[in-house]
Structure formats: structure tokens, C-alpha cells
Structure 1
Amino acid sequence: MSQQAVLQAKAPKASESTIYKILIIIGLCHLLNDAIQAVVPAMFPILEKSMGLSFTQLGIIAFSLNMVSSVMQPVVGMVTDKKPMPYALPIGLTFTLFGILGLGFASSFAMIVLSVLFIGLGSAVFHPEGSRVAYMAAGSRRGLAQSIYQVGGNTGQALAPVITALILVPLGQIGASWFTIVAALAVILLVYIANWYKQRLIARPNLGKKKSISVGKKEGLSKEVKKTLSLILLLIFARTWYSSGITNFYTFFAIKEYALTIKESQVFLFAFLLSGAVGTFFGGPLADRFGKKNIISFSMLATVPFSILIPYVPPTIAFIFLILTGFILMTSFSVTVVYAQELVPGKIGTMSGLTVGLAFGMGAIGSVGLGYIADLIGLQTMITWLGVLPLLGLIAFALPTDQKVWEWNNPK
């Protein structure tokens, strides 16, 4: 019997059916939430012209958005692991609603930062609990369920260039306020999800609370688990810094190097983000079949040839390479979440908050750092060096196999 067959035999029973209706709705809510977040970097070219902001100031805005989400997500996850809070989902999106409304009417740099803090807080509440809903509805297909959930978010992020071209360029900053309608729709859908979540907890109060040998009350996390978790977080660091660099600054590179308009440059960014969303969807099912470690390793290292060459090739080839890079790199997005959740069973919200939240946090630090580097040594040089970050994917070979992780938490 193959290793994957053994793992499938040890997976949750097939009788635990996958609830696709809930997965699709929570995935749609993830799309709406992250589409609103995507408005912030989408506004960068608008704000850079209208307010005369520097790359460093744009990085600070991204930092404010992402760092609040990063810091708060693991905290929310730890709290809700102890006491699940179904109605935190619509409440969190209400914070986002007020934030996006403020962003549309902000008249100063300080007001923009305050508004994005509200958006970040709403995201921090949504993501751990949204991931828990996906876990609860997954049945035996955790990789697929997490992919459906995460692809919603990545699709929402991919809408940023479309938002810029169709809404923000014609309407300007005030166009952001139209997304209060999107936030209101998400709140309504999340009230439905919260009601299902509450009933699910009543019917199966111990769902997702399996105890693990790796996380006992006295021992805490074992050395092996701590080391593995550190490796996963380092891989997320590399992946997110690269994505952050492309998302926040590649449009400026394309405008300068290829003499594109703002609208034309958004097509390149849209190609990268949309292919990343597609990669996110396929990553989970591929991991269910070929193993999580294998997909994580592949996603990082297979990206390298394209990421290094992107700054040196003509625009048409760069467009193609951005599509390939986005797809390959993001196949590991949902996989790292599931890997961490299975590494430390019973801590669904904490691991989701740590992996997804850390991704936002690393993006926040990366935005400020890369913005400063671009101001210091030039945008082209920064984009050139950005391409080597996926080489850190070599450390994926040091991850334990899926079989080994299962054995740690299920000793004979």
C-alpha cells in the first residue's frame, strides 16, 4: 500500500460528508472580504498622484492594513479555539464596512491609515473563524475544502486591478465608498453562516477539538513540531514577501519600463493575481493526492526560473511569466494552512491565524521594507532582487512527510 493510500485510510471517514453549500458561501464571503482589502493597494497609483505620497508612505499604509490583521488573527484564533464565536464573523465585517466608508472620504494621510486599521481589524476577525467554518464543513476532504475557502480570498485580491481600472481611475478616491455595498452583502451572508455554525456546534460540540500528543497541557509543543512550524512560517515569509513586492510595486515597474498607462499595468497585475487564485484552488486537491510536503516544495522551487527572469524579458513574455509564477507559487497557499492544522490538531483557529495572519504580517513588513529599498536603490533594482526570494523554498525539503506528522499525533 502506498504512503498516500495509508494516509487516506487514516483520514476522516467518508461518512463525514463535505458540505459544499457552506464551503461555497464562506468562499464567497472570503472573496468579498478580500476584494474590499484589495481596494487599498489598488488605490496606490491614485493616492500617489492625488496626495503626492512616496513609496515609503504607500508601504506604511499597506503595513497598517496587514500588520493589524497579522497581529490579531492568531489572538482571535486562540480565543475562539477555547470558545467558538459564530457571530464574530458578521461583526468583523461590520468593522470592515466602516473602514472602507472612511477610506472613500479620507482627506489626509492619517485618516487613510485609520480607515485601513478598521479594515485590517475586520479581516483579523474574519479569517480564523472563516477557516474554522471551512474545516467544520470539510468532511474527509480538508485540502479541497481549504482550497475552496482560500480561492475566494485570492480571487478577491485578484480583483484589485479590475477595481482600479473600472472604478477608481474614473471615480477617484471616493469610488472606494461604493464597496460599503459589498461589505453589507458579506455581513448578510455571514449572518446565515453564523446561524449554521451555531447549530453545528450544538450538534457536534467537540468538532475540531481533537487532542494531540504534540500539544499536551504540560509538555506544550514538542521540539519536532516547533521546528516544523518554524520552517513552515519561513516558507510563508518567502512566498509573501515576493507576492507583496509584485502586488504593491510591479505596476510602477511596468509603467516605467514598458511605458504603460495605469490601466494597462493593471492587466499584468490582474494576470498574476488571478492565476494565483487558480493555483490556490488546485493546490488543495493536488495535496490530497500527492502529499502536502510535495506540493509545498514544488510550489516554491518551480517558481524560481520565472521569478528571476521577469524583470529582464519583454512585456509579452513578462505577462506569461507572471501568470506561471502566480499559479505555481500559490498552489501552496491553502496547503500550508492544512499542514499546520494537522501538525497541531485541535488548534484550528490558532494555526489558521498564525499561517494566514502571518502571511499578511510578512506582507506588511515586506511592503515597508521593499518600499524603502525602492526609494533607496531604485525600483528596478528592487524588483530584480525580489526574484531570488523563492529560492528559500529549498528548506521545504527539511519538512517531515505527511505520514510522519500523522505518526507524531497518533502514536501506537
Structure 2
Amino acid sequence: MPIKQTLRTRPVALLSVGHACVDVYQGAVAALVPFFVSERAYTYAAASGIVLAASLLSSVVQPLFGALTDKWAMPWLLPVSTLVGGAGVALAGVGGSYAFTVVAVAVSGIGVAAYHPEAARLARSAGHGSHTAMGWFSLGGNLGFAAAPLMVSAVITTGGLRASPLLFVPALAGAVLCAAALRGAKAPAATGGSARASRTAGRNDWASFMTLSGAVICRSIVFVGLGAFISLYVRQRTGGGEVAGTAALFVLYLGGAVGTVVGGKLATRYGRLPVARWSSALTVLAVAGVVLVPGPLLYACVALASAGLYVPFSLHITLAQDYLPRRVGTAGGVTLGLAVGIGGIASPLIGTVADATSLQTALAPLIALPALGWLLLRTLKEPETLEATTPRPPAPARPEPSADATA
């Protein structure tokens, strides 16, 4: 039994750590924004355009990779896309021109886009459809987000933007981990069969999937908006320097580590949709606190906002996959890619409003979006999973009592 359990959990653990190495580069783009503003004198709108370049291209390309993985298994994408994602961020600080920087982060976005659908499919397969396994996989990505501002701050504060090639190191480690995970995932031969079965069983509920995607978009706009500007905003509100801003971004991302684990446990007890709805309601109050509460208490509001945004993260993924059991790759590509990237489109708008007014005014509309997400989630019902739609084998018939026994 311990050997079987190791065969199941080791690939998931490796995928989780590899996911962290990839999502470092999603968090790194936002973490670089204050340095672009201070070192290159970019406006808020110009800096948010860099965030948009990474997120928008990733969002458009990711569903395409998801559709491809629905037809063909493409495990080689994991190490290759990890290296591409790291290379783009590593080059972002090298070129002095704005155009070069935008292209570099766009290349990173393509790498991140190529990684997620196939990695989510493999995590679902290696974890035998377990929500807990998907939670651990998501936790790795969230930890990568949390580590990004610390890593970027340590490198760029020391050597300036031209030290950005050092940021390629996590990509090298991630590629090695992905290769090891792929070897481990091949060990249980039944895994591939179960994954193929899950893609052909059940029916696709596109209406519920699109409604869920709308809720994910609302969450994404809030998360991307806070991620792009919370560092600068906290520095303004608290009067602190770069350390104060980096700490706030770290708190925002670190909440994912707690939120994902707590979300999985709460969903097991109360159900995925109720937990997702409660999280949206909490996020409304937390974002209002971020915008309106002054001083050190602002950090507590950032932490609450982080929890509200991250608790339903892995639940959104499994819900999407269960709404589209025949299109698991597409579900992952849209949920992890397109919906998230559309949220990035709002980033330049927030930056433009901030340039014209103030960051506080620009961030205020983010309070309403979790409420809209809550309304959308209220219309959804729990999807029929493979386990629910597969008839159970009949119980064995009890043996007839013998004549001697009845006598």
C-alpha cells in the first residue's frame, strides 16, 4: 500500500513544485512594475501595458493549447514551456526599449500558456480525479506567485533591471522537475486509461461552464488589478518605501498558499459552489478595506482579499473540468488562461484612470466585481461527475439459507 500511494503522490508533488517554478514568472511581471516605473520612468498606463502583454497573449493562446491537449497528449510541453516562460522574464530587463520589454514578457506569457492545460490534465490524471490532488497542484502555482516579489526584489534591488537574466534559474529547476514528474506519471499504467475515460464519459454543460467562466473573469480582474498596483498603492497609503510595497505584494500572493489548502478542506465538507460563493462575499468586504482602510491595517485587508480570491481557485478548475468532461484540456485552458487573461485587459484601464485621477479612485470599482461573481455563482448547480454518472455494480446476492439452517 505505501508503494502504491507513493506512485500516486510523487508525480503530483513534482508537478506542484514544477508549477511553482512556472508561476513565478506570472508573479514576476507584476513584481517588476515598480522597478520599471522607478528606473525607466514609465507611466502607470505604460507599466500596466507590460502586464497586459503577458496576460493577454497568454489568455488567447492558452485555450488553443487546451484544445490540442484534448486531442493529443503533449507532455513534452511541460519542460519546454517552463524554459520559454523563464527566458522571457529573464530578458525583460536587458533591453532598454519599451517594445523589447513588451515582446519579452509576451514570450514569457506564451510559455506559461503552453504549460497550464497539459499540466492540469496530467495533474488530474496522476491524482485520479482527486480534488485534493488538484488543490496541491494549484498550491504550487500559488507559492510561485508568492515567491515572485521576493525573488524579483532581491535580484533587481541588488543589480538593477540588467540583472534580470538571473531570474532564469527557477525555469531550469522547473524543467528538471517536470521531466521527473513525467517519468513518475508513466509508472501507473492505469492512469492514462482513466484519464481517457474521464474525457469520454458524461456530457458537456457549456451553459454552466460559461457562467462559471464569467465568475472567474470577475475574480481575475480583481486579482490582476491588485497584483499590478498594490505595491505602488501601499507605498502611497503607508508612506513606506519599496520594502513596504513588496511586502504587500508578498502578502497578496502568499494568501494563495493558505487559501488553496483551506478551500479544498472546506469544499470537502460543504461543497465547492457554497465555498466559492462565500469566498466572493468575503472578497467584496476585503477589497473595500484595501481601498478605504489607511495605515498598517491595510495589510490585514490585503491578506483577507488574498484568501477570498484564492480559496476558490482550485475549485474553479475542477468545476470547469466537470462541466466539460469531454473537453478537460479546453476547460483548463479557458479557466486558467482565457478568463484570467481577460482580467488583464482591465489593467491598462486601471492605469489610465490612475494617471488621470489617483490609484485609490482607479481601484475603487474592483469592489463591485466579486459581488457580480457571487451573483453568477448563485445560478450554478454542482456538475455531474464521472463517479455520479457511472452506475455502481450491483451488490452480490446473499446466499439462500440452507435447509439445515432453516430447520
Q: Same fold (TM over 0.5)?
A: yes
Q: Quote the sequence identity (%).
A: 26
SS of residue paired to 2:127? coil
Go from structure 1 to structure 2 and tell me whether the alpha carbon gap of 1:135 and 1:90 turns closer, same or farther (over 3 Å shift): same
Tell me whether 372-381 or 112-121 shows the greater mean CA deviation. 372-381
Indicate if the aligned counterparts of 1:143 and 1:285 stay in contact, CA closer than 8 A.
Answer: no
Q: How many angstroms does 1:25 deviate by? A: 0.8
What does 1:289-304 correspond to in 2, within 5 Å? 289-304=269-284
Q: In structure 2, give the amino acid aligned to 1:45.
A: P
Measure, in 2, the Cα distance between the counterparts of 1:285 and 1:81.
Answer: 29
Structure 1 partner of 2:379: 398
Provide runs of 4+ in structure 1 moved above 6 Å.
Answer: 15-18, 405-408
5+ residue gaps, structure 1:
1-14, 216-224
Indicate if the aligned counterparts of 1:96 and 1:121 stay in contact, CA closer than 8 A.
Answer: yes
5+ residue gaps, structure 2:
393-407
* TM-score of the two chains, using structure 1 as the length reference: 0.87
Structure 1 partner of 2:398: none
What does 1:112-123 correspond to in 2, within 5 Å? 112-123=101-112
Question: Given the alignment of the two structures, is residue 242 of structure 1 paired with residue 222 of structure 2, yes or no?
Answer: yes
* TM-score of the two chains, using structure 2 as the length reference: 0.88
Structure 1 partner of 2:286: 306
Measure, in 1, the Cα distance between the counterparts of 2:5 and 2:176.
Answer: 28
Q: In structure 2, give the amino acid aligned to 1:145.
A: A
Question: Given the alignment of the two structures, is residue 36 of structure 1 paired with residue 25 of structure 2, yes or no?
Answer: yes
Q: How many angstroms does 1:372 deviate by? A: 2.0
Q: How many angstroms does 1:125 deviate by? A: 1.1
SS of residue paired to 2:296? helix
Deviations, residues 203-244 of structure 1 (Å, cap 9, x unaligned): 5543322324424xxxxxxxxx22211211111111111111
Question: Given the alignment of the two structures, is residue 173 of structure 1 paired with residue 161 of structure 2, yes or no?
Answer: yes
Structure 1 partner of 2:213: 233
Measure, in 2, the Cα distance between the counterparts of 1:16 and 1:343.
Answer: 28
What does 1:6-405 correspond to in 2, within 5 Å? 19-139=8-128, 142-198=130-186, 204-209=191-196, 210=198, 211-215=200-204, 225-392=205-372, 393-402=374-383
Indicate if the aligned counterparts of 1:104 and 1:175 stay in contact, CA closer than 8 A.
Answer: yes
SS of residue paired to 1:208? helix
Structure 2 partner of 1:7: none
Go from structure 1 to structure 2 and tell me whether the alpha carbon gap of 1:408 and 1:54 turns closer, same or farther (over 3 Å shift): farther
Indicate if the aligned counterparts of 2:126 and 2:191 stay in contact, CA closer than 8 A.
Answer: no
Measure, in 2, the Cα distance between the counterparts of 1:411 and 1:203.
Answer: 20
Q: In structure 2, give the amino acid aligned to 1:51.
A: R
The size of the alignment, in residue pairs, is 386
Deviations, residues 120-144 of structure 1 (Å, cap 9, x unaligned): 111111111111121012136x211
Q: In structure 2, give the amino acid aligned to 1:50.
A: E
Tell me whether 373-382 or 202-211 shows the greater mean CA deviation. 202-211
Q: How many angstroms does 1:369 deviate by? A: 2.2
Indicate if the aligned counterparts of 1:255 and 1:265 stay in contact, CA closer than 8 A.
Answer: yes
Q: In structure 1, give the amino acid aligned to 2:123.
A: A
CA RMSD of aligned residues (A): 2.3
Q: In structure 2, give the amino acid aligned to 1:19.
A: R
Larger radius of gyration: 2
